[in-house]
Amino acid sequence: MDIQLEKKKGLRPKHYGYIALGILLLFVGYQLLFATSVSTFRTEKDKLSIAEVSQGKFDDYITINGNVAPITTIYMDAYEGGRVTEKLIEEGAMVKKGDIILKLENMNLYEQILASESNLALKQNDLRSTKLTFDSRQVEGRRSLATASTDLQRLKRNFEQNKALYDEELISQEEYQLSKENYELSKKQYEIVKVQTENDNELREKSLPVLEADLNRMQKTLGMVYQRLDHLNVRAPADGQLGFLDAEIGQNISQGQRIGQINVLTDYKIEADIDEHYIDRVKRDLSAILERNGNEFPLRVRKVYPEVRNGRFRVDLVFNDNKPETIRTGQSYNIRLQLGESSDALLVPKGSFFQSTGGQWIFVVGPDGGEALKRPIRIGKQNSRYYEVLEGLDAGEKVITSNYDSFGEAERIVLK
């Protein structure tokens, strides 16, 4: 009879191999899980710019580049169109106000002048004829009125005499009645002549001023046409330098066309373009410094243009007092524009990482220098050398300040 043997409990040698294999798989899985959760980029340390975060004095200014321009530029537009017949002054020459720069000719304008002169002559002749007519009627009216008045007086006297004789029965009733009728007729004729003379005078007083006003208007119109003729001579509007002149002999110029400009050189200004990042901080009367050959020339912001083009806006700066002796239009200068007072701050040297991150995060190098990890930060002001760090970094830490575009979406940089 066989006896069944009871199996011994516990680990056997082959079990140890399974356990070791399981631990190894767990370790590899953990490494793979970590590698997939943190994106890593490997690069050589020497290819990167690494800077140290420091505590120091932050000067609140920016460096801008500006170009010298005349304090005032006056544009010349053609008052009248025409063909260029003479070019008396060339670009770059100094001019005085009123100097003739160009001469134009305009045949249509000449025809208008002839027509206006002809119309004015006709109007003057009409006025003279009308005055002569009124004067003649006035003289005739006065003569008729004088005759009627004399006849009236004579017939009145005759009537009164006949009435007295008739009352004494010295003349017949027919003779008396005839003198009476003649007298009454003379009275009516006198009143008619008087009214007619008064109407003629009233008409003369009303008509002549109207005709003279029309004549004056025509004379003013002709004067304006003559002024247009004078505008065919393009003159300098002010003392200065003829900056440019877009006209050649034989060229047709349209009315209102821009043909040149005068640069008023009594003073200069600096025109500069500034990044739109500073548009809320740049105001009128901010101070600035222009350095030239070891000398500093103070300026102030005179005008801030509100338009933003291609991410930049324009300002005009003027000198407070002295200016460089050799200053010329078109010269370029670096200018330090003061935005605020200096203060103590945590500083990071400027670098191209800002273009990749917008200043919202940065790669911080570990203490051993073997890796750098992505960390969110907050940047405040900036000048030509430093960014002001408001939070996210400590003094003494090192950060990568070079461009991040090649890192992709990496959150960890391994430095070789």
Nearest to 48 by CA among 383, 410, 355, 398: 398
Residue 94 CB-half CA count within 13 A: 2
Give the separation between CA 330 and CA 69, rounded to whole angstroms.
6
Model confidence at 13: pLDDT above 60: no
Q: Which CATH superfamily is domain 61-68+266-338 in?
A: Efflux pump adaptor protein, beta barrel domain (2.40.30.170)
Element (H, E) at 379: strand 378-382
- pLDDT tens sequence across 345-375: 999 998 989 988 988 999 999 999 889 999 9
321 contacts 268 by C-beta, under 8 angstroms? no
Q: Given a cut of 60, is residue 29 above it in pLDDT? A: no
Tens digit of each residue's pLDDT (9 = 90 or more) over 174-228:
888 998 899 899 889 989 988 888 888 888 888 778 778 877 877 787 777 787 7
Burial 378-393 (b: 16+ CB within 10 A, else e): ebebbbeebbbbeebb
What average pLDDT does the segment 168-173 reach? 86
Question: Against a cut of 0.85, is the pTM above it?
Answer: no
**Alpha-carbon span 247 to 85, nearest angstrom:** 10
Beta bridge partners of 322: none
Q: Which of 27-41, 50-64, 200-214, 244-258 has the weakest average pLDDT?
A: 27-41
Q: How confident is the model at residue 100 (pLDDT cuts 50, 70, 90)?
A: very high
**pLDDT value of position 35:** 44
Q: What is the DSSP string of 214-248?
A: HHHHHHHHHHHHHHHHHTTEEE-SSSEEEEEE---
Cβ count near 18 (within 10 Å): 10
The model's pLDDT over 186-199, given as tens digits with 9 standing for 90+, comes to: 889 989 988 888 88
Give SS3 for 203.
Answer: helix
Q: Where are the domains of the chain?
A: 40-58+343-415, 61-68+266-338, 108-230
Kindly report the CATH number that applies to the domain delimited by 40-58+343-415: 2.40.420.20
Residue 114 host element (H or E)? helix 107-167
- The secondary structure of 255-297, three-state, reads CCCEEEEEEEEEEEEEEEEEEHHHCCCCCCCCEEEEEECCEEE
Any bridge partners for residue 114, and if so which? Answer: none
